[in-house]
Amino acid sequence: MQETISRILEKENLTKEDLVVLLSANEADTELIFKKAAQVKKKYIGNYTYFRGLIELSNICSKNCFYCGIRRGNKNVHRYTVTDEEVLKACQYALDRDWGSIVIQAGERQDKIFVDRVEELLKKITDLSKDKIGVTLSLGEQTPEVLKRWHEAGATRYLVRIESSNEDLFYKIHPQDELHNFQKRKQALIDLQNAGYMTGTGVMIGLPFQTLEDLADDLLFMKEIDIDMCGMGPYIEHEDTPLYEYKNELIPLEERYKLTLKMIALLRILMKDVNIASATALQAVNPDGREEGIRVGANVIMPNITPIKYHSSYNLYKGKPEIVPETDNYIAQLEKQIAEAGDTVGYGELGDPVHFKNRIK
Ligand code: SAH
Ligand code: SF4
């Protein structure tokens, strides 16, 4: 088997069949995949890891995704919105530490109050950071007009996970209605690219009904759409969601974790110069999960800089509140581990995806 894996890893273009074989590799063979991914990372983007301070702006959401703990239908959630002052304080924290960027994430809202508020907030952040901080948004699907306004107000990157590129699977994990539409979600990625954003997507790994073929297709989907950034994480069931019903059909969490590391490594091999985040959900499974992600090809870590009082309410999945708060000590520890994984933290740099620079050339 080892020979087959080595032979596939030498190919210029990986097919779906190749990817399925790689995704099925046993532990010893997987080390070959990780090694190759680390080489590709070193060659195409260098051994740098960028910190993005994550601000979970609000858990108010108009959608009802079947997997997510903050879905509209979950009445057991205390809804909150972080104030502008608190966001600016968090930005200052990132600036003081020379981190090149922040990510603003929230439930999806398309109402005018929210859209206007985000626009004003972005202007304040731009004033504060004087372009020393790149702002990534993760605020769900928006109209091209809204995307343009937010871009002009200072946001340069945007993440919309496709969640699964298999349309049938997409509708097993979302309601089938106007608000949850596969084609629209896909179009959102094109709209982002057209609006000039560095565009990111991603999927959940280990979803009920998901096969290795689906995951191979997800990787090829990202290549075809030509994304600049990716965030992938294990699916972690949440008891207050409809998908919880299938908890006994899931592969063990440890397997979902290992599969996520494989997906990160394979995307690195496939797309070479994109930014890949080592998702927070990895850390929810294994305290060293995000550092492992760095070792196998990821180059972005998103420490949570949301004020701590809100943490337990942004509960997308089980186990998230148990995560250690990102205190100064913790960050120092993270830096040490990044160094151990062979990387340097890219302080004072925006850390734009090299892929984007090559894409718009
Ligand atoms: N509302 C925005 C951004 C916030 S949700 C959006 O949906 O685009 C951010 C991501 O959290 C989602 O894209 C999804 O992939 C992930 N997520 C939600 N529930 C999850 C769960 N139970 N396990 C793992 N990841 C989950
Ligand atoms: Fe809302 Fe995003 Fe959760 Fe879906 S995944 S319910 S859009 S926060």
pLDDT tens digits, 198-243: 999 999 999 999 999 999 999 999 999 999 999 999 999 999 999 9
Rounded CA-CA distance 289/235 in Å is 14
How many Cα atoms are found within 13 Å in the side-chain-facing hemisphere of 38?
A: 15
Cα 75 → chain centroid: 26
CA distance 117 to 125: 12
Atom of ligand 2 nearest to the CA of 64: 6
Residue tagged 């990157």 (tokens):
157
Alpha-carbon distance of 319 to 281, in angstroms, equals 9
Count other Cβ atoms within 10 Å, centred on residue 25: 18
Percent of the chain with pLDDT over 90: 81
User: What are 198's strand-pairing partners?
Assistant: 157
Instruction: Tell me which of 201 and 320 has the higher pLDDT.
Output: 201
Half-sphere exposure of 338 (CA within 13 A, CB side): 23
| Cα–Cα dist 150/137, whole Å | 9
Q: Residue type at 89?
A: K
Per-residue pLDDT, 324 = 54
d(CA 124, CA 220): 38
Q: 65 CB under 6 A from ligand 2? A: yes
Ligand located closest to 139 CA: 1
Nearest to residue 162, comparing CAs of 106, 216, 221? 221
The number of the ligand 1 atom at minimal distance from the alpha carbon of 316 is: 19
Write down the pLDDT at residue 322.
47
How many CB atoms are located within 10 Å of the residue 112 CB?
9
Given a contact cutoff of 8 angstroms between Cβ atoms, the answer to whether 29 and 265 are in contact is no
Give every CB contact of residue 61 below 8 A, 6+ residues apart in sequence: 68, 70, 71, 72, 106, 107, 108, 109
Assess whether the C-beta atom of 68 lies below 6 angstroms from ligand 1. yes
What's the 159 CA to ligand 1 centre distance in angstroms?
A: 11
CA of 316 from ligand 1 middle (Å) equals 6
Nearest ligand atom owner, CA of 61:
2
Q: With 80 as the cut, is the pLDDT of residue 60 above it?
A: yes
C-beta of 205 in contact with ligand 1 (< 6 A): no
Q: How far is the CA of 200 from the centre of ligand 1 (A)?
A: 13
Segment 14-19 shows an average pLDDT of 98
Is the C-beta atom of 68 inside 6 A of ligand 2? yes
pTM comes to 0.96
Q: Is the CB of 214 under 6 A from ligand 1?
A: no
Band of residue 357 on the pLDDT scale cut at 50, 70, 90:
confident
Going from the Cα of 26 to the center of ligand 1, the distance in angstroms, rounded, reads: 29
- From the CB of residue 130, how many other CB atoms can be counted at a distance below 10 Å? 8
Angle formed at CA 214 by CA 212 and CA 217, multiple of 5 degrees: 110
Using a 6 Å cutoff on CB, does residue 63 contact ligand 2?
Answer: yes
Can you list the domains of the chain with their CATH numbers? 2-359 (3.20.20.70)
The per-residue pLDDT for 321 is: 44
pLDDT tens for 141-184 read: 999 999 999 999 999 999 999 999 999 999 999 999 999 999 99
C-alpha–C-alpha distance, residues 45 and 297, integer Å: 10
Q: How far is the CA of 249 from the centre of ligand 1 (A)?
A: 20
More confident residue, 115 or 331: 115
